[in-house]
Amino acid sequence: MVDHANEPESCHVPGTDRKSHHSETTKKNLVTRLNRIEGQIRGVKGLIDKDTYCDDVLTQIAAVQSALNSVSKILLEGHMKSCLVERIQDGDLEVIDEVLVTVKRLMK
């Protein structure tokens, strides 16, 4: 029996809303990272409540931004390796413009 748990499902189902296609392993990884980021945000709020030196708070904010960027990279890679390829193979070249807009947004 072949284990398909880590294989992405189709990300383009005609007639339905767009959905993510991540394996359970990827979802678990993303949720773990986001939970950690959530804790970091609470920590930053605590630093502000304690009147912590601004530079120290900014350092923690930079760490949160870096962690969010890591989540974005994982999502973008998965999107490009599955949805983007699939839609191009289906002749949907508009997806290239879509991903360019997304990349520009991420690079702000």
Which of 70, 84, 77, 61 is closest to 32 using CA atoms? 70
With cut-offs at 50, 70 and 90, classify the pLDDT of residue 1: very low
Higher pLDDT, 12 or 33: 33
Looking at 31-40, 57-66, 80-89, which range is the least confident one? 80-89
| CA 15/CA 77 separation, integer angstroms | 25
Rounded mean pLDDT of 86-108?
Answer: 94
Predicted confidence (pLDDT) per residue in 30-41, tens digit? 999 999 999 999
User: 30 with 22: CB under 8 angstroms?
Assistant: yes
Q: What is the pLDDT of residue 24?
A: 93
Q: Does the structure show a pLDDT above 90 at 11?
A: no
pTM of the model: 0.79
In this structure, the chain runs to a length of 108
Which of 68, 77, 63 is closest to 108 using CA atoms? 68
Domains by residue range for the chain, with CATH: 24-106 (1.20.58.1000)
